[in-house]
A and B are shown apart, each in its own frame.
Chain A
Amino acid sequence: MHGVGKMVLRRLAQLIPVMIIATFVVFALVFLMPGDPAVTLAGEFATEARINEIRALYGFDQPFWVQYGHWLWNALHFDLGRSLFSNEEVSRLISMRLPHTLLLVFYALFLGAITGIPLGILAATRQGTRLDKAITSLASLGVAVPNFWLGIILVSALALDWRLFPATGAVSIFEDPLGAIYYATLPALALSTNVTAVLTRQVRSALLEVLSSQFIRTLRAKGLRPAAVLWRHGLRNVAATMLTIAGLQFNLLFSSAVIVESVFAVPGVGSLISYSALNKDFPVVQGVALVLVVLVIFVNLLVDVLNSILDPRVAAST
Chain B
Amino acid sequence: MTDATVTTPVPAGPARFSVWRWMRSDMRAALALTYLIILVLGAVLAPFLAPYSPTDQNIMNMLADPSGEHWLGTDDLGRDTLSRLMYGAGNALYASGLAVGIAVLIGVPVGVFIGFVGGWIDEAVSRVIDAILAFPPIVLAVAITGALGIGLTNAMLAVGFAFAPYLARTMRAQTLVVKSALYVDAAVGFGASRFHLIRKHILPNAIQPVIVEVTLLLAVALLAEAGLSFLSLGVQAPEASWGGMLARAYSYIEIAPTQMYAPGFAILFTALAFNALGESIRVLLDPTVKKI
Contact = CB atoms under 8 A, between A and B. Distances in A.
Interface of A: 14, 17-19, 21-22, 25-26, 29-30, 32-34, 136, 140-141, 143-149, 152-153, 155-156, 160, 201, 204-205, 251-256, 258-259, 262-263, 270, 273-274, 276-278, 280, 282, 285-286, 288-289, 292-293, 296-297, 300
Contacts of A297: 134
A145 B261 CA distance: 12
Name the residue in A270, A280, A293 with the highest tally of chain B Cβ atoms < 10 Å from its Cβ: A293
A278 B147 CA distance: 10
Given A32-B147, A33-B148, A156 B253 contact: yes
A315 to B, nearest CB: 19
A29 B144 contact: yes
Name the residue in B137, B146, B271 with the highest tally of chain A Cβ atoms < 10 Å from its Cβ: B146
Contact of B134 (A22, A270, A274): A22
Contact of B135 (A136, A141, A285, A289): A289
A32 B290 CA distance: 44
A interface SS class = helix
Given A22-B135, A201-B292, A278-B232, A160 B254 contact: yes
Contacts of B134: 18, 22, 251, 293, 296-297, 300
Interface of B: 127-128, 130-132, 134-140, 142-150, 219, 223, 226-228, 230-233, 243, 246, 249-250, 253-254, 257, 260, 263-264, 267-268, 271-272, 275-276, 290, 292
Contacts of A144: 219, 223, 268, 271-272, 275
A96 B131 CA distance: 26
B109 to A, nearest CB: 20
A293 B146 contact: no
B147 A258 contact: no
Name the residue in A25, A145, A155, A259 with the highest tally of chain B Cβ atoms < 10 Å from its Cβ: A259
B151 to A, nearest CB: 12
